[in-house]
């Protein structure tokens, strides 16, 4: 069996101390397997998605915290997260959210020194998210890194295939 070299949320968890991790919009079984991997490392892991899947139920039964909601609707009482991960958001149609509001909903939940990791297949959306933070959401408070990633190294996707994906890492400064 070939080794899967695809990047996943758990690859970006660097600390040995327990952290609070939030996966936004996870639906695929591989995303929930990664969430369970983080649980087994001692982290507090929550997944937010209005869609409840069989993988979500398994994750919940394994001790994960599944919240059937959208991140924009989460109570502030839930606190901040050290790592927020999101694969291929598609804020369009009836769920369209402009880039600035989309980023604000995630960055507002980020702890000091925390990171929001997002993969997208759209170069336009990558540029819009980066600009929204640097130009309007406190660019001095966040560091933004954008990388092109070959499709075979990026998280799996159900969208039509493209040769490159984009990884954005937003880090809240201390």
What pLDDT is stored for residue 138 in this prediction?
67
For the chain, list the domains and their CATH numbers.
16-172 (3.40.50.150)
Instruction: State pTM to two decimals.
Output: 0.90
Average pLDDT over residues 74-91: 90
Please give the Cα distance from 72 to 105 (Å, whole number). Answer: 6
Q: Which of 118, 102, 92 is nearest to 23 (CA)?
A: 118
pLDDT tens for each residue of 110-140: 999 999 999 999 898 899 999 988 887 666 7
pLDDT at position 16 over 70: no
Number of H helices, E strands in the chain: 4, 7
Q: Which of 134, 161, 155 is nearest to 146 (CA)?
A: 134
pLDDT at position 53 over 50: yes
């Amino acid at each position: 069996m070939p080794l899967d070299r695809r990047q996943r949320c758990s690859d970006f968890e660097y600390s040995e101390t327990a952290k609070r991790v939030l996966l936004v919009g996870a639906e695929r079984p591989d995303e929930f397997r990664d969430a369970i991997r983080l649980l087994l490392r001692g982290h507090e892991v929550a997944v937010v998605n209005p869609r409840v899947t069989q993988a979500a139920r398994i994750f919940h039964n394994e001790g994960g915290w599944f919240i059937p909601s959208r991140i924009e609707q989460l109570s502030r009482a839930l606190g901040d997260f050290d790592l927020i991960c999101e694969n291929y958001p598609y804020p369009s149609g009836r769920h369209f959210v402009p880039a600035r509001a989309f980023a604000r909903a995630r960055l507002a939940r980020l702890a000091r020194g925390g990171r929001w990791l997002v993969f997208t297949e759209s170069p336009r959306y990558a540029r819009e998210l980066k600009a929204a933070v640097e130009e309007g959401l406190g660019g001095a408070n966040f560091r933004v890194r954008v990388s092109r990633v070959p499709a075979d190294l990026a998280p799996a996707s159900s969208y039509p295939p493209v040769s490159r994906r984009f990884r954005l890492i937003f880090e809240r400064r201390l």
